[in-house]
Chains A and B, each alone.
Chain A
Amino acid sequence: MSLKDKLSELRQRGLADIKKSSDLKDVNQVRVQLLGKKGPITEVLRGMRDLDAEERPKVGAFANEIRDDLTNALAERKAELEEAVLNAQLAKETIDVTLPGTPVAKGEPHVIQQIVDQIEDLFLGMGYQVLSGPEVEEDKYNFEMMNLPKNHPARDMQDTFYITKEILMRTQTSPMQARTLEKHDFSQGPLKMISPGVVYRRDTDDPTHSHQFHQVEGLVIDKHVTMADLKGTLQVLAHELFGDKFDVRLRPSYFPFTEPSVEADITCFNCGGKGCKVCKNTGWIEVLGAGMVHPNVLKMAGVDPDVYGGFAFGVGPDRFAMLKYGVDDIRNFYLNDVRFLTQFTKKG
């Protein structure tokens, strides 16, 4: 058998051994056997001394080629086996990804807070300040400066928790408007404010009444503020809170602190305006009161109604939340059942 044939046979046998090797230890053994110092290739190369000078380089080159082939085959096999080992390992590590995630302690903002924040952010973006006044107010700011003198019949409309004759739980957040109007320096710019907060009425708690609830009142006073501006502002508010599809309409109403006074309805979200039980078949739902600030209110706060004027509005986040989420009992907001509180998680 020629040296060349021996080498060819060696290659064939070597490749077969490599292929047969079933783990990394096997591969290593085969490598030592084939390519080691005492291995057959080394032996064959040793026999080259007996060849012609002409043959020697050819056989040498052939031997090197075979050694490279075997080396590559070994590396390939090794990689193959390593991958298999890793895959087996990973397969063993497989878990049920459908098992629930480990719970994380996470609290939610109160649904009323979410609505108040949303309203605040909207108006901050339009250049309003946010001002919250005292919850225990003077009759003067809560009523008198709102154009509700002591014997005004409209005082019957809101039953009040009095502490003394002159001190009361505020029934609206508008006293903060009076307090701010009194102090505002119009040479520094217009007054644009909202006042969010808790208010109190002398009511018996039931599904639709609560002695404590929330209000956000808004006020804009400048030289040229129009009722059209009021309408536009309320539209922006409705779109922010309920969505662009919602329309706003104004109706005449009566509040002592505004003239003209209006009530604003928005498209019924239950029926989209077609008429249903929720909207008493009108297609509209009353959501807020508003109007152009009464000259008396301005006068009492020391603002000249012949120069300045503007609008005011008041919305009830409790009512919004009830309408928006179909909450059927206002007391839910103040009893703090965690199964209620944790329902309002969608912030996106």
Chain B
Amino acid sequence: MKISYNWIKEYLDLNVKPADLAEKIERTSVEVDDVTTPSDGLKKIVVGHVLSLEAHPDSDHLHICQVDVGEDEPLQIVCGAPNVAAGQNVIVALPGSRIADNVKIKKSKMRGVPSAGMICALQEIGFSEDVVPKDYVDGIYVLPADATPGDDVYDYLGMNDSLIDLDVTPNRGDMLSLFGTLHDLAAIYDQPVTLDKPEVKEAGADIADQLAVHVDDQLSPQYRMRLVKNVKLAPSPMWLQIRLWNAGLRPINNVVDITNYIMLKYGQPLHAFDYDKFAGNDVYVRTAKTGEKLTTLDENDHDLDESDIVIADEKAPIALAGVMGGLSTSIQDGTTTVAIEAAVFEHDHIRKTAQRHNLHTDASQRFERGINQTGVQEALDAAAQMMNELADGEVQKGSVVGSSNIPEPAVIELTLTHVNTVLGTDLSMDQVTHILESLGFKVAVHDDTLTVTVAVRRNDIHIPADLLEEIARIYGYDQLPATLPTGRMTMGTLTDKQRLMRATRHSLEGLGLNQAISYALTTEEKAQMFMMQASETTHLAWPMTVDHAVLRMNLVSGLLDDIAYNSARKVKDVALYEQGRVFYREDGVDRPSEEEHIAGAITGTLMPESWNQPAKAVDFYQMKGIVAAYLKDMAVNGDITYVPNTDMPEMHPGRTADILIHGHRIGFLGQIHPLVAKKFKIAATYVFELNLQAIIDMPKQENQYDVISRYPAITRDIAMLVDNDITNEQVVALIERRGGAFLQSVKLFDVYDGVKVPKGKKSLAYTLTYQDKHETLVDDAVTQAFEKVSKRLEDDLGAQIR
């Protein structure tokens, strides 16, 4: 809501600049989006009087105008507006002037005719199209006849006012009006404020004889109407139009403008009906019936149902209550009798109706938040008075009141001790009482206790905490001390799980992978790739796009998306890991379970080419090395084995391994299937994904000291030919099992399956290290053990020792 600085100054004696006032409001009440003065940035824009005009010889729409701008000689200005006419007062941008959007106007020629400046439309001097009166939307604006040529136009158009744009939070509906804002400012500046009271001059007949209202007071706790006859529709006076357009509303005619003006001033939305268009003299406030239709003022058709509140006459709905009036009973040329409605509608209904019909209006916004229920009649009277004064209307005697349930004010007790305990302050009873009274609340003090009767307009205040906020903000948050909580000590430590998750990240970063955070919401297809267990998908009910519609059940597909993003930007070497959750759901259960996972993906090379070393493309074994190093870091207790997996549809069938700890599958590792790579438009990529929760839950090894032997170790190398399908793991397992008591380690140092070995065979070579912890090993003992294991390899695995 844009509130006028000048309007505020009519009520409060403020000696502050608009920017400072805005700052104060922001620090004490509600956020301020910005403060603008419409004339800012404009230069040399004056009133001009069109003395004469003639058609441009070379154009069918341009006119050559002689314009008096208060100087000795008139200016010749070529103007293309269809509505320009001699005798008008117009807005003239002089040569050297600056209009909206910082555009400079110079002397020029238009189709050969010199033109000294420009006659402007309101839009050209910064008005938003939505607030320009309809008559002037497609042409220049015509100023009042009494404007003086040569004067700056700003004051005529209210452009020197400053407008403070309040971003009102949902609880502060009271700030959506001048009067509500004034109440707050009165407290902030500790100044009394007197608000004017309407005095209605009534004439004619009793309204009760002309109109009856029938109201369901559950839907409308207050419903009041006045009737004004013989109104003369006309444009509103300038001051009223200025109030409206500066608040962002388009002036229409005096009757409609008055209802909008009262809304801005009191916060009470009003509606004006053309009484003569009612079918009958009875008006009903009721829920709509399914099947009923209404065309609203904006000429849109709406299908109504029982959750909409409508105003209806004998035949049909004539307004969507609290949201928008109907077209059939709207104020139009020829309207002479106006029924003004001032009411309170139940906010939940209004909210839903506004949502369902996508009609968020100034009225619905106010009803949703709640309006000042003690001011409904006053706003109605003020509108009637203005229709008398500005439209010559004859206000009929009295009001019709269909319902008049005004809520009792909230009465809240709190103690001074509580105030100071919660705020951390040392306020006196006088200070607190004064703050509350300045807000217009009544306060009774008894010992330490305050009994506060809250003004009804503040419908956001119900409990002591609400009053604490009032006290704190008016006292000023800057004045609060800054301390830290005292009280009983607590330990702040990470849990084992949190520590392991941090260690996981540090480990993988140390191994060369960058942490990625990808989207957890993905496509249905990607959500189901690289599955580590069976699960139902979990869909959003109303996704924004299909790209983010289903909860992921793997992390790898997100990393592949990331690689694709890099790849599309010509970044070829990408090494990423991600720690995050996957979402598994059982059939028949709405809520998925969440499992922590860790995944990695590398494409290109981990170690880019350098002047002293060539690039080495990532391969299975490099990724395996990373996974192994990571698992070693996590110190999981139990044998880690890698078992070929030929069945994962998204993975290369010959280059994928399941990762087992102690026989439990905790993840997989390998190259993604070339067809998957193609689908993601990426190069060969190696990935792994592990169930991190499983790693967290597994028992861990403790660090312990192992004596380093003082006695020398002896090594023996062994090379052998084996069948291709014999795995390294089989060979190592056998050597370890049969290697004797002193075998310390087995290390593979060569694999060869090239031309020098027979087809179907491969050569494997290992270094075996022997050591005794307690004495120097005898060569013979090693030779004996070595021969024994060689024999075993021949017998059990058919190895040919070379």
A contact residues vs B (CB 8 Å cutoff): 99-100, 102-110, 112-113, 117, 120, 123-130, 134-136, 138, 151, 153-154, 156-157, 161-164, 166-167, 169, 189-190, 192, 198, 200, 202-204, 211-212, 220, 222-229, 231-233, 235-236, 249-254, 259-263, 280, 282, 292, 294-295, 309-310, 333-339, 341-342
Given contacts A202-B542, A228-B425, contact A107 B509 (CB under 8 A): yes
In the assembled complex, 16 residue pairs joining A and B whose CB atoms fall closer than 8 Å, in A order, are: A105-B607, A107-B510, A110-B515, A117-B502, A124-B493, A127-B492, A128-B490, A134-B594, A135-B594, A163-B540, A192-B485, A226-B421, A228-B424, A260-B472, A292-B468, A333-B517
- The answer to whether the Cβ of B272 comes within 8 Å of any Cβ in the partner chain is no
- The answer to whether the Cβ of B248 comes within 8 Å of any Cβ in the partner chain is no
- The answer to whether the Cβ of B761 comes within 8 Å of any Cβ in the partner chain is no
Main secondary structure of the interface of A (DSSP, over half): mixed
Q: Does A224 contact B421, Cβ atoms closer than 8 Å?
A: yes
Complex CA distance for A280 and B167, rounded to whole angstroms: 15
Give per-residue flags for B563-581: 1 if the beta carbon is below 8 A from chain A beta carbons, else 0.
Answer: 0011001010111110011
> What are the 3 A-B residue pairs with the smallest beta carbon separation, nearest first?
A228-B424, A105-B512, A226-B424
Q: Does B517 contact A232, Cβ atoms closer than 8 Å?
A: no
A260 contacts which of B30, B465, B565, B575 (Cβ < 8 Å)?
B465
Complex CA distance for A212 and B502, rounded to whole angstroms: 22
Q: Does B477 contact A262, Cβ atoms closer than 8 Å?
A: yes
**Which residues of chain A have C-beta atoms less than 8 A from B493's C-beta?**
124, 129
Q: Does B517 contact A228, Cβ atoms closer than 8 Å?
A: no
Interchain nearest-CB distance for A184 vs B (Å): 11
In the complex, what residue of chain A is closest to B472 when comparing beta carbons?
A: A260
**Which residues of chain A have C-beta atoms less than 8 A from B28's C-beta?**
252
- The answer to whether the Cβ of B708 comes within 8 Å of any Cβ in the partner chain is no
- The answer to whether the Cβ of B483 comes within 8 Å of any Cβ in the partner chain is yes
Give per-residue flags for B493-521: 1 if the beta carbon is below 8 A from chain A beta carbons, else 0.
Answer: 11100100010010011111111111111
**Which residues of chain B have C-beta atoms less than 8 A from A252's C-beta?**
27-30, 469, 473, 477
**Which residues of chain B have C-beta atoms less than 8 A from A250's C-beta?**
477-478, 480
Given contacts A102-B612, A107-B513, A249-B477, contact A226 B423 (CB under 8 A): yes
**Which residues of chain A have C-beta atoms less than 8 A from B463's C-beta?**
259, 295
B485 contacts which of A105, A110, A117, A225 (Cβ < 8 Å)?
A225
**Which residues of chain A have C-beta atoms less than 8 A from B315's C-beta?**
none
A127 contacts which of B169, B489, B539 (Cβ < 8 Å)?
B489
Q: Does A105 contact B575, Cβ atoms closer than 8 Å?
A: yes
- The answer to whether the Cβ of B145 comes within 8 Å of any Cβ in the partner chain is no
Complex CA distance for A231 and B482, rounded to whole angstroms: 5
- Given A164-B541, A231-B477, A260-B469, 20 additional A-B pairs, CB 8 A: A107-B511, A107-B575, A110-B514, A110-B517, A123-B492, A127-B490, A153-B351, A153-B369, A162-B541, A163-B538, A169-B540, A211-B544, A224-B486, A227-B472, A227-B480, A228-B480, A228-B481, A254-B169, A336-B517, A338-B573
Given contacts A163-B590, A225-B485, contact A336 B494 (CB under 8 A): no
In the complex, what residue of chain B is closest to A101 when comparing beta carbons?
A: B610
B490 contacts which of A100, A117, A189 (Cβ < 8 Å)?
A189
Complex CA distance for A154 and B347, rounded to whole angstroms: 13
In the complex, what residue of chain A is closest to B473 when comparing beta carbons?
A: A252
Q: Does B170 contact A254, Cβ atoms closer than 8 Å?
A: yes
Complex CA distance for A106 and B511, rounded to whole angstroms: 6
B contact residues vs A (CB 8 Å cutoff): 23, 26-31, 34, 169-172, 347-348, 351, 368-369, 421-425, 463, 465-466, 468-469, 472-473, 477-478, 480-495, 498, 502, 505, 508-521, 538-544, 548, 551, 562, 565-566, 569, 571, 573-577, 580-581, 583, 590-592, 594, 606-608, 610-613
In the complex, what residue of chain B is closest to A252 when comparing beta carbons?
A: B473
Complex CA distance for A135 and B91, rounded to whole angstroms: 59
Complex CA distance for A254 and B606, rounded to whole angstroms: 50
In the complex, what residue of chain B is closest to A254 when comparing beta carbons?
A: B169
Complex CA distance for A262 and B172, rounded to whole angstroms: 14
Q: Does A157 contact B170, Cβ atoms closer than 8 Å?
A: yes
Q: Does B422 contact A227, Cβ atoms closer than 8 Å?
A: yes
Interchain nearest-CB distance for B278 vs A (Å): 33
**Which residues of chain B have C-beta atoms less than 8 A from A113's C-beta?**
505, 515, 517
Q: Does B498 contact A130, Cβ atoms closer than 8 Å?
A: yes
Q: Does B565 contact A251, Cβ atoms closer than 8 Å?
A: no
In the complex, what residue of chain A is closest to B486 when comparing beta carbons?
A: A224
Complex CA distance for A128 and B514, rounded to whole angstroms: 29
**Which residues of chain B have C-beta atoms less than 8 A from A202's C-beta?**
542, 544
Complex CA distance for A336 and B577, rounded to whole angstroms: 10
Q: Does B610 contact A103, Cβ atoms closer than 8 Å?
A: yes
**Which residues of chain B have C-beta atoms less than 8 A from A136's C-beta?**
538, 551, 583, 591-592, 594
Interchain nearest-CB distance for A133 vs B (Å): 10
Q: Does A226 contact B590, Cβ atoms closer than 8 Å?
A: no
Q: Does A105 contact B482, Cβ atoms closer than 8 Å?
A: no
Q: Which of A110, A120, A134 has the most CB of B within 10 A?
A: A110
Q: Does A190 contact B498, Cβ atoms closer than 8 Å?
A: no
Complex CA distance for A108 and B478, rounded to whole angstroms: 40
Interchain nearest-CB distance for B32 vs A (Å): 9
**Which residues of chain A have C-beta atoms less than 8 A from B473's C-beta?**
252, 260
Q: Does A190 contact B490, Cβ atoms closer than 8 Å?
A: yes
Complex CA distance for A131 and B406, rounded to whole angstroms: 47
**Which residues of chain B have C-beta atoms less than 8 A from A104's C-beta?**
512
Interchain nearest-CB distance for A322 vs B (Å): 15
Complex CA distance for A99 and B473, rounded to whole angstroms: 63
Q: Does B562 contact A336, Cβ atoms closer than 8 Å?
A: yes
Complex CA distance for A265 and B490, rounded to whole angstroms: 29
Q: Does A222 contact B487, Cβ atoms closer than 8 Å?
A: yes
**Which residues of chain A have C-beta atoms less than 8 A from B590's C-beta?**
163-164, 166-167
Interchain nearest-CB distance for B470 vs A (Å): 8
Q: Does B422 contact A226, Cβ atoms closer than 8 Å?
A: yes
Interchain nearest-CB distance for A252 vs B (Å): 5
Q: Does A224 contact B487, Cβ atoms closer than 8 Å?
A: yes
In the complex, what residue of chain A is closest to B575 when comparing beta carbons?
A: A107
Complex CA distance for A118 and B230, rounded to whole angstroms: 72
Q: Does A229 contact B484, Cβ atoms closer than 8 Å?
A: yes
Q: Does B606 contact A153, Cβ atoms closer than 8 Å?
A: no
Given contacts A192-B490, A224-B421, contact A341 B468 (CB under 8 A): no
Q: Does A110 contact B516, Cβ atoms closer than 8 Å?
A: yes
Complex CA distance for A130 and B502, rounded to whole angstroms: 13
**Which residues of chain A have C-beta atoms less than 8 A from B29's C-beta?**
252
Interchain nearest-CB distance for B330 vs A (Å): 29
In the complex, what residue of chain B is closest to A162 when comparing beta carbons?
A: B541
Complex CA distance for A182 and B280, rounded to whole angstroms: 60
Complex CA distance for A161 and B571, rounded to whole angstroms: 33
Q: Does B542 contact A162, Cβ atoms closer than 8 Å?
A: yes
Interchain nearest-CB distance for B146 vs A (Å): 38
Interchain nearest-CB distance for B340 vs A (Å): 27
Q: Which of B368, B463, B498, B516 has the most CB of A within 10 A?
A: B516
In the complex, what residue of chain A is closest to B464 when comparing beta carbons?
A: A295
Given contacts A254-B172, A295-B463, A338-B574, contact A211 B482 (CB under 8 A): no
Interchain nearest-CB distance for A282 vs B (Å): 7
Q: Does A102 contact B610, Cβ atoms closer than 8 Å?
A: yes
Q: Does B512 contact A106, Cβ atoms closer than 8 Å?
A: yes
Complex CA distance for A335 and B569, rounded to whole angstroms: 12
**Which residues of chain B have C-beta atoms less than 8 A from A251's C-beta?**
26-27, 31, 477
**Which residues of chain B have C-beta atoms less than 8 A from A105's C-beta?**
511-512, 575, 606-607
Complex CA distance for A338 and B573, rounded to whole angstroms: 9
Complex CA distance for A336 and B516, rounded to whole angstroms: 6
B608 contacts which of A103, A335, A337 (Cβ < 8 Å)?
A103
Q: Does A341 contact B488, Cβ atoms closer than 8 Å?
A: no
**Which residues of chain B have C-beta atoms less than 8 A from A212's C-beta?**
519-521
Interchain nearest-CB distance for A146 vs B (Å): 14
Q: Does B571 contact A337, Cβ atoms closer than 8 Å?
A: yes
Interchain nearest-CB distance for B219 vs A (Å): 16
Complex CA distance for A164 and B590, rounded to whole angstroms: 7
Q: Does A259 contact B466, Cβ atoms closer than 8 Å?
A: yes
In the complex, what residue of chain A is closest to B173 when comparing beta carbons?
A: A153
Interchain nearest-CB distance for B415 vs A (Å): 11
Interchain nearest-CB distance for B357 vs A (Å): 15
**Which residues of chain B have C-beta atoms less than 8 A from A334's C-beta?**
517-519
